[in-house]
Amino acid sequence: MTTKRVARPLWGPFVALVGLVVVLDQLSKSWIEAELSGGRVISYLGGALRLVYSQNNGALFGLFRGHVLIFGLMSLAVIALIVTFHARSGRSPYMTLTLGLLLGGAIGNAIDRFRLGYVIDFVDGGLGRARFFTFNLADASISAAILLLFAMAIWPSLVGSRGSDVGAGDAGASRTGPQPGPTAAEPGAGSDDA
């Protein structure tokens, strides 16, 4: 009899991705604060893309401003949920990527909320006075993860196997069940092909 168990998630790549997102996010915010906190603006593409220093005491893209403590506590709950989801995701590289981006972004912004009381945003895109919300690398990471989750909802096959391992006795069985093999009465039933 075989026992099925959920495969361990890809913790190594997950932690590495989370760490990379957090480090890049914090380094970019530190650089922006040092270079642009005096009001200087760096423009690209004729002003369609600008780097500006902005303090956001709201949520993603500056929404719902003025609730820093609430968002800080919500960030901690979200971080715990993401880790829990990853622990149950099996060996899915797609889920490791998606949840790693999501967790890295959540931690990056949570660090700002608890350390500074606001989140540093700096990427400002738009044309003329029509501007998009100002955001940072953590926000971009969260947004990419949300797009990956939407894609997964539309095309579930992107996630791949849920990662169930089979017992040692079923090593040759396919996902649809055991395949018939030669019986003792059939030629080659007991032969060892070298």
What Cα–Cα distance (Å) separates residue 183 from each residue in 112, 135, 186?
Answer: 66, 65, 5
DSSP 135: B
Largest CA distance in the chain: 86
CA proximity to 142, closest of 179, 86, 92, 100:
100
Q: Is the CA virtual torsion 24, 25, 31, 35 positive or negative? A: positive
Pairing of the two strands 42-44 and 49-56: antiparallel
Catalytic annotation, residues: 121, 139
Give the side-chain half-sphere CA count within 13 A for 64: 7
The token pair that represents 113 in the structure block: 């909320």
Query: Of how many residues is the chain composed?
Result: 194
